[in-house]
Amino acid sequence: MILLGLNNFINKTKLTKVLKKISLDESIIIFSETTSQINSNKLFSNIDQIVYGIDINKWIKILKPNILLTIGINILSKNIKYLLRKFPPKYHWHLGNNCKNYPDTYFKLSSYWNINPEYFFKIIEKNKNFPNSNYKRTWEVLIEDKIKKQNFFIKKEKNFSDLKALFFIFSKIPKKSILQLGNSMIIRYYQLFISKRKYKIQSYCNRGISGIDGSVSTAIGYSIVSKKIVTLIIGDISFFYDSNALWNNYTPKNFRIILINNKCGNIFKIILNKKFSKKTFNFFETKHNLCAYELCKMYKWNYNKVSDLNRLRYILSFFWKKSNYPFLLEIDTKNCNNENIFRNFLYSSK
């Protein structure tokens, strides 16, 4: 199993090319988080969904790799981290130039290879001596089944939510445009849904140390030096935290923000395993009642707000068209059952 985490590979194209070749082998499965910037339809980024609810006996007997090969650092998927720590593979090799500070995420690192991953795979590719195996096929069968169930769930689920909205939005992002993603749930939803796109979008996220700060500033900064349409998709806490970034005279007209306003830090309802008292939990969740309308009025931005799929579909039909001002679309999901719909989604493709 090859697992690619956060990285800024210098030679993305070459590495992608060689990984695509490697991925053809029947004994290898490649998971690539979007933060690795290595995409291809041969590599899988929806890791959380794939391994959610996996039968532990099946993992131990047939899905757990003999060799785990990691490249890059942080991994977003909590589920794969859990499995690899709890039921580790026989060997874990980490690859990378000058990556000696690799934090040994799974506590079982057996070797560190100080080598450019591209060269490593080229050598492997040339000296191909892989065992006969149906390892990849076993994973593929599981993945195909999950995707079928995912599509069925999304079709069947009639209630609007962060999940419904984002599934739709990711399918509409204009070709050749740039996506900037907020931290928190946005990047996680993106990982789930982007695997299936016919063409990949260039996407960026202020992941680094997982801070929510500076995402709006970074996106606006990028749009100032880019000729392409830049769209920032961001949660409300991250947006309001850095909303001062709107106060500048240089934001291009073709800059877009899609604000997923669930009026709290929804991630804490989803990823915290521990139960906290309501009083304590309030400090995590940070409920509020802010909306971006007044800010847009003050900075003279186009503004629209939607709270259902039909209206979202309508606004997106002209959202990216040429306009005289930057445009912010607020998606109000306050009264939606976001966390349960997300959980049911994962559960349904178990």
User: Residue 185, interface with ligand TPP (CB under 6 A)?
Assistant: yes
Number of residues that bind ligand TPP (CB under 6 A): 16
Pick the binder of ligand TPP from 161, 184, 206, 254 (CB under 6 A): 184
The CA-to-CA distance between both ends of the chain, in Å, stands at 21
Using CB under 6 A, which residues numbered 104 to 123 contact ligand TPP?
A: none
Strand segments, DSSP code E, in 37-190 are: 67-71, 91-95, 111-113, 178-181
Pick the binder of ligand TPP from 235, 292, 332, 349 (CB under 6 A): 235
For the chain, how big is the Rg over CA atoms in Å? 21
User: Residue 262, interface with ligand TPP (CB under 6 A)?
Assistant: yes
Strand segments, DSSP code E, in the chain are: 2-4, 30-32, 67-71, 91-95, 111-113, 178-181, 202-205, 230-235, 255-261, 302-306, 327-332
Where does this chain touch ligand TPP (CB under 6 A) — which range of 42-50, 90-98, 190-198, 205-213? 205-213
Pick the binder of ligand TPP from 213, 247, 293, 318 (CB under 6 A): 213
Cβ nearer to ligand TPP, comparing 69 with 216: 216
Cβ nearer to ligand TPP, comparing 251 with 261: 261
User: Residue 89, interface with ligand TPP (CB under 6 A)?
Assistant: no
Beta bridge partners of residue 202, listed in sequence order: 178
What is the rounded distance in angstroms from the CA atom of residue 152 to the CA atom of residue 91?
A: 37
**What minimum distance in Å lies between the beta carbon of 210 and ligand TPP?**
5
Nearest residue to ligand TPP on Cβ basis: 235
User: Residue 236, interface with ligand TPP (CB under 6 A)?
Assistant: yes
Cβ nearer to ligand TPP, comparing 183 with 251: 183
- Residue 258 makes CB contacts below 8 A (sequence gap 6+) with 169, 231, 232, 233, 234, 328, 329, 331
User: Residue 19, interface with ligand TPP (CB under 6 A)?
Assistant: no
> Which residue bears the tokens 């006969």?
132
User: Residue 103, interface with ligand TPP (CB under 6 A)?
Assistant: no
Spacing of C-alpha 191 from chain mean position: 3
Please give the residue ranges that form the binding site for ligand TPP (CB under 6 A).
Answer: 182, 184-186, 210-213, 235-238, 262, 265-267
